[in-house]
Chains A and B, each alone.
Chain A
């Protein structure tokens, strides 16, 4: 694992180097097409390249709306085909961007292009130290996603505003911005279920910064690391596989990640037995305490226990947790290792672009002998 990590570091430095070269290139010769990219794992977006433009399509922008949204990214002043002229247009490269989710920050950080951020929502909960600093120095404006302040955004003069396709939000909320001529780009990464698919949205982000080659290199390294880990877990015989439980109850109801969720994908890849693998949902499902309690009593490992960072704190949430086998054996882990005092959790920021580290953590937790040298990165033992 250590070797993979150092290889990744090396490559990412190289990638960063080449991307900065490319950027320099770009400013001198704006019409030169950038290195194209294609998607392998992600199902939510696609990028096609034309003469002087890129066409970015988001297939599933909102949770309940399958309409495709498209954006034209202009790489040169060349004339667009008539069919594309009605689409929102963004002139590249994007140097001023407003992001309304910390997940978007993770992608920009991995691409080493956080300098494009001029405003973001949720700045109070940022983990990334440089971004925190820049927020403090007022180089990045703090915005409120719920009560969007159009004036403040307009004053930042961004080339685009990137938002999440959260449930219940539709473009109507951002219509004023669109009317003001600011393109609003929906980043629907959260609807992507597979870990590598989620990570691949880095290419989506890269399209706006002309950093596709860096994204390609990055994803290759991640993919390699991930599949190496997968090969290790595949070999685990089924009777040695351990069972996992995820989450805690809220007010007596248990929100269990569905069988198609991001977490369930990880459990499958980590060769864990997940009792709710057959639930068809991709989000969380509210299950009765009794149903979960019955299965949880004998589960071997318990993960993602809310905000609890100690067994005592966990038991204070609900005394019934003390009955669980995982609790009694001390096999309880939470993704709280990289949390800043402000509550910002790197897992939610960088985790999306580092699925191999999440998987490595899970393997280390479940089958420590497989990764003797790996030190838990996002997770910690309670």
Chain B
């Protein structure tokens, strides 16, 4: 596909994203007329005061969360798939999600002397920052472990296996805690694992945005070595790419992106693995200068779309976002991959 076509496609995706963002902001369980929404958006007073609050405190943070989650996880997944040259790699394989879940479980499930939550509370952190902090610390701890391992080994496959094993270990740890917890604690934990875009509040939007945008910019910064990595480690080395350093970079960026998302919104699956495949098939390129912006646009659009679907029509109920991303996305990916033979050639 020629370069101009890529640019045109990216522009089209950007328009889609803006469109979906507007649709997402204008739909919800409470019916608010479009004129009122426009007035609210441009900081004008509207007759119904609660509409302003609903827009700025509920819908806006949720739409932003969808964009941030979708773009961050997609780009993280793309990088890892390139690094490991494995189509099954996603942020969860490095144990980032698992680490975050251990952090959250340590706050929610343990009791008595082992309650990390109690310890953190004594330092003066509480409320939802407690969970966010715990998730981030958990993800960071696992990252450190993986980093130490990656400094010692050369082989990417070994690193992948270590990541998977660390994830298994954390599942076991959480399992033991669940076993000894009471039903209320388990319920709270299980609800966390469903993931949620609504958990992000207005004042948290800037914090998460800064982290995610920084991570995305850093990703664009390493687009060139990522392109070279696809040609094979030896070839990359001969072209002057420091494999160990780029590996370190990717791991840090991934945990920044996936770790912060998991901390604020819970573990959200599927996006990280599926969007990179979608993008590669649609753009028919391996150039990361195109793939990264495409992942950002497609990931954000997909999450906005999924969030629209979670709102059951004519009903105040919502479905868990995690279920919807997989439910909608998996068949699409299967269909595309079966139709195209493109994926086979890359890895």
A residues in contact (CB < 8 Å) with B? 122, 124-125, 144, 146-147, 166, 249-253, 285-294, 297-298, 313, 315-320, 323, 343
Contact = CB atoms under 8 A, between A and B. Distances in A.
A127 to B, nearest CB: 13
Contacts of B318: 253, 286-288
B191 interface: yes
A144 B179 CA distance: 8
B contact residues, range: 35 or more
A343 B109 CA distance: 13
A229 B32 CA distance: 42
Contact of A288 (B28, B50, B112, B266): B28
B50 A294 contact: yes
Contact of B126 (A125, A147, A253, A316): A316
Given A253-B191, A323-B53, A290 B30 contact: yes
A344 to B, nearest CB: 10
B29 A288 contact: yes
B145 to A, nearest CB: 27
Interface stretch (B198-206, B282-290, B326-334): B198-206
A122 B183 CA distance: 10
Given A285-B317, A290-B28, A317-B128, 11 more contacts: A146-B179, A251-B198, A252-B199, A253-B191, A287-B318, A290-B59, A292-B316, A313-B126, A316-B128, A318-B128, A320-B58
Contact of A291 (B188, B196, B316): B316
Instruction: Give the top 5 A-B pairs by smallest Cβ distance, nearest first.
Output: A252-B198, A316-B127, A291-B316, A251-B196, A291-B29
Contacts of A298: 50
Interface of B: 28-30, 50, 53-54, 57-59, 62, 111-112, 126-129, 178-180, 182-183, 188, 191-192, 194-203, 266, 311, 316-318, 320
Most buried by A among B30, B58, B202: B58
Contact of A318 (B62, B180, B197, B201): B201
Contacts of A252: 62, 196-200
B213 to A, nearest CB: 22
A164 B28 CA distance: 38
Nearest to B265: A251
B179 A319 contact: no
Contacts of A320: 57-58, 201-202
Contacts of B53: 293, 297, 323
A125 B182 CA distance: 9
Most buried by B among A122, A288, A317: A288
A22 B50 CA distance: 62
A287 B128 contact: no
Contacts of A144: 179-180
Contacts of A122: 182
A288 B127 contact: no
B111 A289 contact: no
Nearest to A319: B201
Contacts of B179: 144, 146-147
Contacts of B59: 290
Contacts of B57: 293, 320, 323
A122 B254 CA distance: 41
Contacts of B266: 251
Given A290-B28, A297-B50, A253 B188 contact: no
Contact of A317 (B58, B127, B197, B316): B127
Nearest to A348: B184
A243 to B, nearest CB: 14
Given A147-B179, A288-B316, A317-B127, A293 B199 contact: no
Most buried by A among B112, B195, B201: B201
Contacts of B197: 252
Contacts of A146: 178-180
Nearest to A166: B183
A294 B57 CA distance: 11
A288 B191 CA distance: 14
Contacts of B200: 252
A171 to B, nearest CB: 19
Contacts of B127: 313, 315-318
A251 B111 contact: no
B58 A289 contact: yes
Nearest to A125: B182
Contacts of A313: 126-127
12 contacts: A124-B112, A251-B194, A252-B197, A253-B196, A287-B318, A293-B53, A293-B54, A293-B58, A294-B54, A297-B50, A316-B129, A319-B201
